[in-house]
Amino acid sequence: MTDQFPLKFFHFGMGKCASTYLHGLWALDPNYTLLDANGLRDNCRKLALADGNIDIPIAQSPGLSESEVSSIATSEGFLFSFLNDLENQDKLLRLYEVVPAVIGRSGMTDKALIMVRNPLEWINSVYSQSLKQGGHYTYAEFFDKQKVFLKQSLNLKYMMEQYEAHFPHVVILSSDMLHQAPDEFWSLYEERLECPRISSDVIETMKSYDFAANKSLSAEQIVALYKQNLQTASIEARIDEFTEDELNLPHKLEDVKATIAAYKFYTRRMVELSQGKDLEKLIETISIPEEERLHDRFIDEEMQAYLAEYYIEVLREKEYIPESYIKVYEHSIQTAALR
């Protein structure tokens, strides 16, 4: 007998909340099959960026089929978009309107899974991800320039209003619980999503794919990647000042820009895989003033109050996750270094 819906659930993010790890587990576990949601994600982003009032379409639902496995869809990009995109960072709230309207009305599932974590640790992790994606800001510059992105990404209040309007069941789980109390996490997962927990064999296998977990950078790696990205950004800025004829390059300008983009990715991998003396060599290649400022971590009073209202209160009001985790999150916010 088939379920009423083609998909058991749809995982939307949040980004930097064990998404890569969970995706790996679902892909390895024979009890699950994954629907490719990247095309749908890209279309939703385009809708969020569109000017003016637009008609929001309904996604086409996959057909029902007899199967013993749990079919699911996953992409953190539905909630984690426009990082390092200063021009469009204020479009996240619009994306929160578009995505559940497009997918929730499709009939493909009645359950939305959203992962959360300690918001202060999330901000630090996102700064690391910003560098991985080519960013070249100190933490202070990142906080100032992308504060709108941070606030809208952590606006659980608006996020839940939109998702609960289109999905009968919005399941919130904590990635901190996943790492600190996995048995408790998988019990809640089974209960709320009505899906089998990931087998212990699959979890053990996943440990051998440590690099696939997309871990945050260490303090030394942050310095190294910041320096490399800063150098690349200065080259990009200069290239944009010239025409192809002025540069007299053997390849078209767009090819050169593509090469630089590829170099950014190779640099990221090089830094992620470097340790010890190899990492020291990367750090020493470029000298920057006030290098210690790269290790500053803080929020301001506005962000502190914002997180209390739009993140902590929302989690506590509906008891999405155990109170013990909420208290830790709340304490982190209350004791955070303030600028």
Hey, is 338 helix, strand or coil?
Answer: strand
pLDDT in tens, the chain (339 residues): 346 899 999 999 999 999 999 999 999 999 999 988 999 999 999 999 998 777 888 888 776 555 668 999 999 999 999 999 999 999 999 999 999 999 999 999 999 999 999 999 999 999 999 998 989 899 999 999 999 999 999 999 999 999 999 999 999 999 999 999 999 999 999 999 999 999 999 999 998 876 556 677 887 788 777 777 877 776 676 666 666 666 666 566 677 677 677 767 757 766 676 677 766 766 565 555 555 566 789 999 999 999 999 999 999 998 899 999 999 999 999 999 998
Specify whether the CB–CB gap between 218 and 280 falls below 8 A: no
Gap between the Cα atoms of 205 and 25, Å rounded: 9
Instruction: Give me the half-sphere count of Cα atoms (radius 13 Å) on the Cβ side of residue 82.
Output: 27
CA-CA-CA-CA torsion sign (241, 245, 247, 249) = positive
